[in-house]
Amino acid sequence: MKFIYIALLLTVMIAYSSAAGKCSGPNERFYECQPCAAINCGDTAPGACIAVCRNPGCYCNTGFLRKKGRCVRKNQC
């Protein structure tokens, strides 16, 4: 039974590490935790952030927001 838990843990770790390389757009990268900031053009930054790590995925770099699936500079929104 212990072997099954270890195998499951390794599978999850491999899945997350392989997802990190799948950010293909310019000006974006993989984050384990969703950034505490505006994400899309037209969003407002949250007033307070919850100290809970969730929603791993590809997010725009600092100074960029997502517009029609691409990361653009804030002034291009």
Over residues 33-52, mean pLDDT: 87
CATH code matching the domain that covers 22-76, chosen among 3.10.20.600, 3.40.50.2000, 1.10.540.10, 2.10.25.10: 2.10.25.10
Geometric angle at alpha carbon 74, from 66 and 71, rounded to 5°:
30
Confidence of residue 2 (pLDDT cuts 50, 70, 90): low
**Mean pLDDT across 30-50:** 88
List the chain domain ranges.
22-76
Count of CA atoms in the C-beta half-sphere (13 A) of 22: 8
Name the pLDDT band for 59 (thresholds 50, 70, 90): very high
Q: What is the pLDDT of residue 7?
A: 40
pTM higher than the cut 0.85: no
The residue that leads in pLDDT, 62 or 4, is: 62
Which residue type sits at 71?
C
